[in-house]
Chains A and B, each alone.
Chain A
Amino acid sequence: MLQIINLKKIFKIQNNHNIAAIKNINFNCRKGQITGLIGPNGAGKTTTLRIISTIMNPTEGTVLFNNIDVRKEPNEIRRRIGFLTGSTGLYPNLTSIEILNFFCSLYEVDKKKKVITDLIEMLDMESFVNKKVDSLSTGMRQKLSIARTILHNPEFFILDEPMNGLDVLTSQSIRNFIIHEKKKGKCILLSTHNMHEAEHICDEIVLLHKGSIVTQGVPSELIEKEKMKNLEEVFLNFIGN
């Protein structure tokens, strides 16, 4: 289980001016569940995900994954997480198989060849496995990104707007992948702008606004509690449109 305890992040900008991107947030993310992190632009979603994924350090607070402190043992956490964003790039001059080989070596994956063969088969990548990333379509690239994210069999997924800017078919394949991993008992933290998607695939919702959690809970319960028709209305109700 992932535990976010009193997490705070302050960015120092020019003229000794500080901006609190996250203000003492607390939430949990359980195994076999998808936790949706939603909020408008600048709410602090990406900052939260970056802290959890060890890219950033929090100003205050703790992030525990299976009781391992992210700050104290970042390398241990990195081995256990799969990080995917909609904007993540891939090395343009390498082929898909080279990228998979490279990340398998970094994560010290056992039986590298078998893992790669299985992934290629599972994600239907045979047709472009030897092609350079430069020449791949968006859908092919996204499949490769998914393969890269899951090749070390992570226990926990951090997905930052993974369907952002993708067409319907590619979004569908990502959605299928998320649900597939959830069924395998993985812990998934998903940041998204798509309220419809969040309402239907997330088991729990955390709504962030201006760095604070304004509400959290099961989507259907939140809708009922706020007496709204859907999650989008709940979102608008809290954000104040």
Chain B
Amino acid sequence: MNIKKILTLFLKEMNEVFRDKKSLTMMIFIPLILYPFVLISTGYFSGNEINKVKNLKQSISIFCPDPMQQVPLIEELKKTLVVIKSTNPRLMLNKGEVEAVVEVNSCRLTGTSEFVIYFDKTRLGSVTAEKKIKVILEKGKKRNIVERLRAYNITEKILENFKIESINIASSDQMGAFIVSKIFPLMILILLFSGAMHNAISITAGEKQRQTLETILVSPLTRTEIVIAKYLTIFCTSLISTIIGLISLYLVFSYGFYMISNLTTESFSLSAVGLLLMFISIIPLSILFSSVLFMVGCWARTYKEAELYNTGILIIIIAIGIMTTNTQENIDINYFLFPVFNVVLTLKELLKEQVNVLHISLTVFTTFIYSFISLIISQRLFSKEAIILRI
């Protein structure tokens, strides 16, 4: 094996990568600019929208067959909501003219009232109105009970013998890490694969299509040397894209929470060791994805064919990512044997600052094995003339 020749081909490929606008966009622009922009802007705007809706006075309507019961309720609701009179409140709700409808059914005989809130869960304003109505009604209910108890000379303290309170023990940092662990691994997965996708296709199926591959095949390079040089190019592209993405996403989540601190109490921070361990866990997956991309590129006849296969694989990767980010805690150790699953699970743990050496080792080791197998298959494919010469 001639290292100098491998290096010559590798440097030529890298030179082409850095001159190709599409490669640069996928490798640098998307992780560095697009991801942070999309994440911060969506977080900021959706948070602002929620705040804006909360501060608005939503319009509601009340349907009450007994006018005597309606008066105190309307006065109470009017303080935080706009109450609109209507003969058909449900129709108004359907049309979106009011955000919620409160139906009051009172029984004078027993002195009880039943309140039914109609709202539309698909509308943010409607959901907010429902919450506000519930709070007001709960307060009214409590006041009513207190008044009744007083009538029997019973103090309201009798109600306090059974108190339920939920306290979130997670710190703001832990809450931040929990939120980040739902998004971050998935984004890293997408970056790892898509960052090198264009370049991988270009130097395999693209070369077949451009008919530049033959010039390399007749040069004094062995098939193995060509495979190594091309594979290294894909791996480097994937790694560059991932390093940029990792730093970029880390900064986005660290400073992103600070930027929307008026909307949320969560924060996010990760130690340098944590970041390094994440990088170590990602490298084997980058190796695996690179060999998969190389394999697909060798197999495909044209750029478009390879793009089609890779899009399918990317969808599968995203699906695995989504499945894994929503798995339960304390997952069975066997899951760390499955490729992609194990890296996402390890990243999730590391983001929560849970360093499990066994999980990390198992993830790195098994992914390396899968990568090695995949690389051998790629090399075999590249040696098969029926595959490499099919156009």
A residues within 8 Å of B by Cβ?
11-12, 50, 53-57, 75, 78-79, 81, 83, 85, 87-94, 98, 102-103, 105-108, 132, 148
Q: Which residue of A lies closest to B207 (CB)?
A: A89
A79 & B220 in contact (Cβ 8 Å cutoff): yes
Knowing A12-B386, A106-B5, say if A88 contacts B214 (CB, 8 Å): yes
Q: Chain B's nearest CB lies how many Å from the CB of A166?
A: 15
Q: Which residues of B contact A132 (CB under 8 A)?
A: 19
Residue B160 interfacial (CB < 8 Å): no
A94 & B218 in contact (Cβ 8 Å cutoff): no
Give bound CA distance, A148 to B215, whole Å: 9
Give bound CA distance, A93 to B212, whole Å: 12
Contact of B218 among A11, A57, A78, A91 (CB under 8 A): A78
B interface, size bucket: 20 to 34
B219 & A78 in contact (Cβ 8 Å cutoff): yes
Q: Which of B7-15, B38-46, B94-102 is near enough to bind chain A?
A: B7-15
B210 & A92 in contact (Cβ 8 Å cutoff): yes
Q: Would you call the interface of chain B mostly helix, strand, loop, or mixed?
A: helix
Q: Which residues of A contact B265 (CB under 8 A)?
A: none
Knowing A81-B218, A94-B15, A106-B219, say if A55 contacts B211 (CB, 8 Å): no
B220 & A93 in contact (Cβ 8 Å cutoff): no
A-B contact pairs, 10 of them (CB 8 A): A50-B389, A54-B217, A55-B389, A56-B385, A78-B220, A83-B218, A88-B214, A88-B215, A89-B210, A102-B12
Give bound CA distance, A91 to B215, whole Å: 10
Q: A55-B217, A55-B389, A79-B220 are in contact. List 14 more A-B contacts (CB 8 A).
A: A55-B214, A55-B218, A78-B218, A83-B214, A83-B218, A85-B211, A89-B212, A89-B215, A93-B15, A93-B19, A98-B12, A102-B12, A106-B221, A107-B219
B residues within 8 Å of A by Cβ?
4-5, 8-9, 12, 15-16, 19-20, 210-212, 214-215, 217-222, 385-386, 389
Q: Which residue of A lies closest to B8 (CB)?
A: A105
Give bound CA distance, A208 to B212, whole Å: 27
Give bound CA distance, A32 to B207, whole Å: 34
Q: Which residues of B contact A85 (CB under 8 A)?
A: 211, 214
A94 & B214 in contact (Cβ 8 Å cutoff): no
Q: Which residues of B contact A88 (CB under 8 A)?
A: 211-212, 214-215
A54 & B9 in contact (Cβ 8 Å cutoff): no
Q: Which residues of A contact B16 (CB under 8 A)?
A: 91, 93-94
Q: Which residues of B contact A81 (CB under 8 A)?
A: 218
Give bound CA distance, A106 to B16, whole Å: 17
Q: Which residues of A contact B215 (CB under 8 A)?
A: 83, 88-89, 103, 148
Q: Which residues of A contact B9 (CB under 8 A)?
A: 106
Q: Which residues of A contact B20 (CB under 8 A)?
A: 93
Give bound CA distance, A78 to B389, whole Å: 18
Q: Which residues of A contact B219 (CB under 8 A)?
A: 78, 103, 106-107
Q: Which residues of A contact B385 (CB under 8 A)?
A: 55-57
Knowing A75-B220, A106-B5, say if A98 contacts B15 (CB, 8 Å): yes
Contact of A11 among B8, B222, B386 (CB under 8 A): B386
Contact of A106 among B8, B19, B210, B211 (CB under 8 A): B8
Q: Chain B's nearest CB lies how many Å from the CB of A96?
A: 14
Q: Chain A's nearest CB lies how many Å from the CB of B131?
A: 58
Q: Chain A's nearest CB lies how many Å from the CB of B381?
A: 16
